[in-house]
Structure 1
Amino acid sequence: MNNLTILVIDDEPNLVRSLQFSLNDQTIDLQAAYSGTEGIQRFNTLTPDVVLLDLGLPDMSGLDVLTQLKSISDTPVIMISAHGDTRTAVKAVREGALDYITKPFDIDELELLIRRCGEQQRLSKELHFLRSQQIHTQRIVGNSHQTETLRHMIEQVGDSTAKTILISGPSGTGKALIARSLHDVRFSNAPFIEINCAALPEQLIEAELFGAERGAYTGAVQKRDGLISLADNGTLFLDEIGEMPMAIQAKLLTFLENRVYRSIGGGKEHKANVVVIAATNKNLKTAVDAGDFRADLYYRLNVVPIVAPSLSDRVEDISLLIRFFGEAFAKQEGCKPPIWSEEIIAQLQTYSWPGNIRELKNLVERIIILYPGQTALPKHLPNEYRKNAISTTVDNLDYSSVVEHKERELILSALRKNGGRKGLAAEQLGISRHALKRRIQRLNIDF
């Protein structure tokens, strides 16, 4: 999960402190505003991923704040309502809020809701960007034999009536992108709902998938629609399916066999017309033999198998991938992309790429930030990507440490020159404020 910036707009300092304590997580940055006016101002400067908005504010109605926020951005807004004010909260949902939660609320349920909102927002942004760049399987960048074979397979399976598809391959090979490509080939306007089976505890994943009735379990203060329901007539993508608990595997198998399910605490059966795409970096057959995965579920999922090739098996694509990611990150950072020398491309084609495309993407982002508009040479690579990496040092320091030190110094210098104002510092560095914030967090800069 990427880092989430949460803006809480609530006039109760105790509630804010409680949230900051309870959501104390390196992946969540919680900021606060104590009035509607301050909340709108902070929203414009923070560009948060999710907003928690109280209905009762001292200077204006939470509904008025919601209207102004939705006119600025489609950022998910979760309303906080007092007990007995459910009718107003429902009205807020009708006017654009994504969901609401009633005081006093269960912190685990709130965190799950926040992460779901943040993940949906991230996926929405990524999908919008990818659609603006390329359509359908053209988003699978490369011209190697392995890539062309993968594209052809996606087109064939996407045009079929297959209801269950299993994508396997090492971490970082783009299994989620393959799943979205399969979805886009089949559907022009339908939901694509994703869940990471490894990211949720067992007691929550069932409610997340199948939904839950009010009072079905401790903390279930309201009815919750499951992801299967949200994916009706579209695609449900189950990432890291190999991490799904055995008890939930049995319930998923039942759904796959007849496309019928019950929510937790509900007695009524519901039908859902859903294409289920599962992905795993594990060998599920080995997991079946070890007793860690149900054999019947494996065979039910493995109706149409697709293998995502490792980057080391498609090194001919590295040059195109570097330029694709380079242009995308340069646009994101507001700078010129580097000029990729033949030497650096040749060097990267000899690397083993244990992290696959994800690793390459992260490396390109790093070079964009440190050397925008320059000619990228092998000397600009971190130590592990260079020949004779074990013996290569710079003044007895690991090259990656030198680069990190230089990055830290550049950021600190910009902050000092601009009196700690991050917006001006980001402008001086030629990157976005959000990008600067990410660097500050990653480097643990306290300014």
Structure 2
Amino acid sequence: MPDVHVLIVDDEEALVRSLSYALREEGMRISTASSGEAALQHPLDDIDIVLLDLGLPGIDGMATLDGLRQRSPLLPVIMISAHGDTRAAVQAVKGGATDYLTKPFELDDLLATISSTLALDVPEPITSGELAAGLQGQSAVMLALHGAVQRIARSSATRILLLGESGTGKTLVAQALHGYSSRAGSAFIEVNCAALPEQLIEAELFGSEKGAYTGAHQKRAGLVSQANGGTLFLDEIGELPLSLQAKLLHFLENGNYRAVGASQASSADVRVVAATNRDLADDVRLGRFREDLFYRLNVITLDIPALREREEDLLLLARYFAQRQALEEGVSPIRFLPDSVERLRRHRWPGNVRELKNLVERLTILLPGQGISAAMLPVQLQESVLPDNTALVLGDQLERAERELVTDALTRTAGHKGLAAQLLGISRHALKRRLQRLGIERSPER
């Protein structure tokens, strides 16, 4: 494995020396840090993989792992735990580590783990790791998404909008956009615009001066400032109060902002990734979202497909989650028997990948290591199944009807996508997703 750059984070000098020597013999480059604090200060741009000890002095391995994940979500980390500390190692995998080894370990085991981890970390397509869980897949729509994510991540675009239903993996896409970019060595800051109280969200985003409002006992740096040089992910952007949308627009235009109570403006170089499961075009028409902010965000967009639009990825995801959950619980993974597989395929998955992950977690806890039959599935999966071939026939009829409606709308508007979307009563992006799903050849965008 020539030219692989490894960061070893461990306070045992003898172990670090022996590992460094052995890995250099394999053609790898080595950097070291003797504490979590040192690791979090170490430049990560050129690091390919991290070997991280759980039992560090000061900031422990779990806190260091969390800090590394914040700085570089896609950087693979192999945890090293003491003998008998397997539960902590499993917890580390849950926290984002790619794999773990227990001391003492053989050099061959370490080399094999590094090799398999780096093989799984190939950008195209993303195939493993907790970060990539919702992005796994070999379907055409997912392969296209993988390629688009990488192209956009490495571009100069600093304002990106993610569209998709709840549970499709928009947060994972945002993390991938950060991890594949030149900003990966800086912070990735996530903000859920729906979770913060309206009266506090401005201070959370832009910071505040001491005494700016009741309870502001000291100066506070905002999340925009913390994301300087990195990525700010604004989840549920459609829930942002109108009163704050103008201030966000101003920041998006020139990178300038003013902390609450501050007399002078500040600036930050931030890539902003916004996400929503709402139809922002409809919200603009209804006066719930500023039109100028919508058009400022709607320059580079990514549509995240629903799980029902990528059926060929369903079992791959189910098996992946089964393996991960089994590791976490310390049990054998569940298996889906043929009759339950049929139920999974027929389900509409309104909660998308998140719903599938939760199902696997529940079944693993209740029925560890068992073969899952259709009778063992939750009631909602039983009720969502139509008898015999009814579902297939009805699905074909619905697709034909949808295809006719979309084609008719495009014909009546001479191929103008925006007008066709208005005629159908859907957003332009919703129409785009339907065209892709139905395989309708599209003329150049108008």
Match of 1:74 in 2: 63
Match of 1:384 in 2: 380
342, 345, 352: which one aligns with 2:341: 345
Match of 1:322 in 2: 318
Tell me by how many angstroms 1:386 deviates.
1.9
Structure 1 219/267 Cα, relative in aligned 2: closer, same or farther at 3 Å?
A: same
Instruction: Give the distance between the partners of 2:247 and 2:160, measured in 1 at CA.
Output: 18
Conserved? CA contact 1:318–1:345, under 8 Å: no
Tell me by how many angstroms 1:354 deviates.
0.7
Structure 1 70/185 Cα, relative in aligned 2: closer, same or farther at 3 Å?
A: closer
Instruction: Give the distance between the partners of 2:293 and 2:179, measured in 1 at CA.
Output: 26
Q: What percentage of aligned pairs have identical amino acids?
A: 46
Tell me by how many angstroms 1:74 deviates.
2.2
Instruction: Give the distance between the partners of 2:190 and 2:92, measured in 1 at CA.
Output: 9
Tell me by how many angstroms 1:135 deviates.
5.7
Aligned alpha-carbon RMSD (Å): 2.8
Structure 1 258/250 Cα, relative in aligned 2: closer, same or farther at 3 Å?
A: same
Instruction: Give the distance between the partners of 2:162 and 2:350, measured in 1 at CA.
Output: 19
- Using the size of structure 2 for normalisation, the TM-score is 0.59
Match of 2:272 in 1: 276
Match of 2:203 in 1: 207
Match of 1:312 in 2: 308
Match of 2:162 in 1: 167
Structure 1 245/220 Cα, relative in aligned 2: closer, same or farther at 3 Å?
A: same
Tell me by how many angstroms 1:181 deviates.
0.8
Q: Which runs of 5+ in 2 are unaligned?
A: 1-55, 66-90, 100-116, 127-131, 388-446
Task: Give the letter aligned to residue 256 of structure 2.
Answer: V
Instruction: Give the distance between the partners of 2:195 and 2:141, measured in 1 at CA.
Output: 30
Residues 218-229 of structure 1 mapped to structure 2, 5 A cutoff: 218-229=214-225
Instruction: Give the distance between the partners of 1:197 and 1:145, measured in 2 at CA.
Output: 32
Task: Give the letter aligned to residue 155 of structure 1.
Answer: Q
Conserved? CA contact 1:158–1:186, under 8 Å: yes
User: Aligned pair 1:157/2:146, yes or no?
Assistant: no
Match of 2:194 in 1: 198
Deviations 1:36-91 (CA, angstroms, capped at 9, x unpaired)? xxxxxxxxxxxxxxxxxxxxxxxxxxxxxxx9874575299xxxxxxxxxxxxxxx
Instruction: Give the distance between the partners of 1:388 and 1:337, measured in 2 at CA.
Output: 25
Conserved? CA contact 1:326–1:337, under 8 Å: yes
Instruction: Give the distance between the partners of 1:372 and 1:229, measured in 2 at CA.
Output: 46
Tell me by how many angstroms 1:247 deviates.
1.1
Tell me by how many angstroms 1:346 deviates.
2.2
Match of 1:185 in 2: 180
Instruction: Give the distance between the partners of 1:286 and 1:124, measured in 2 at CA.
Output: 41
Tell me by how many angstroms 1:212 deviates.
0.4
Match of 2:43 in 1: none
Residues 399-410 of structure 1 mapped to structure 2, 5 A cutoff: none
User: Aligned pair 1:146/2:135, yes or no?
Assistant: no
Tell me by how many angstroms 1:379 deviates.
1.4
Structure 1 333/283 Cα, relative in aligned 2: closer, same or farther at 3 Å?
A: same
The worse-fitting range, judged by mean Cα deviation, of 187-196 and 294-303 is: 187-196
Q: Which runs of 5+ in 1 are unaligned?
A: 1-66, 77-121, 392-447
Deviations 1:276-312 (CA, angstroms, capped at 9, x unpaired)? 0000000000000000000000000011011111111
Provide the aligned length of Structure 1 versus Structure 2: 281
Match of 1:299 in 2: 295
Task: Give the letter aligned to residue 372 of structure 1.
Answer: P
Aligned to 1:74, the other structure's residue is in SS state helix
Conserved? CA contact 2:347–2:384, under 8 Å: no
The worse-fitting range, judged by mean Cα deviation, of 378-387 and 253-262 is: 378-387
Task: Give the letter aligned to residue 74 of structure 1.
Answer: A
Aligned to 2:175, the other structure's residue is in SS state helix
User: Aligned pair 1:333/2:329, yes or no?
Assistant: yes
Task: Give the letter aligned to residue 287 of structure 1.
Answer: D
Residues 220-259 of structure 1 mapped to structure 2, 5 A cutoff: 220-259=216-255
Structure 1 256/379 Cα, relative in aligned 2: closer, same or farther at 3 Å?
A: same
Conserved? CA contact 1:383–1:389, under 8 Å: no
Instruction: Give the distance between the partners of 1:241 and 1:280, measured in 2 at CA.
Output: 6
Instruction: Give the distance between the partners of 1:175 and 1:353, measured in 2 at CA.
Output: 16
Where do 4+ consecutive residues of structure 1 move more than 3 Å?
67-73, 122-137, 387-391
Aligned to 2:361, the other structure's residue is in SS state helix
Aligned to 1:186, the other structure's residue is in SS state coil
Structure 1 388/318 Cα, relative in aligned 2: closer, same or farther at 3 Å?
A: closer
Instruction: Give the distance between the partners of 1:123 and 1:375, measured in 2 at CA.
Output: 28
Tell me by how many angstroms 1:127 deviates.
4.5
Match of 1:362 in 2: 358
Tell me by how many angstroms 1:383 deviates.
1.0
- Using the size of structure 1 for normalisation, the TM-score is 0.59
Tell me by how many angstroms 1:272 deviates.
0.7
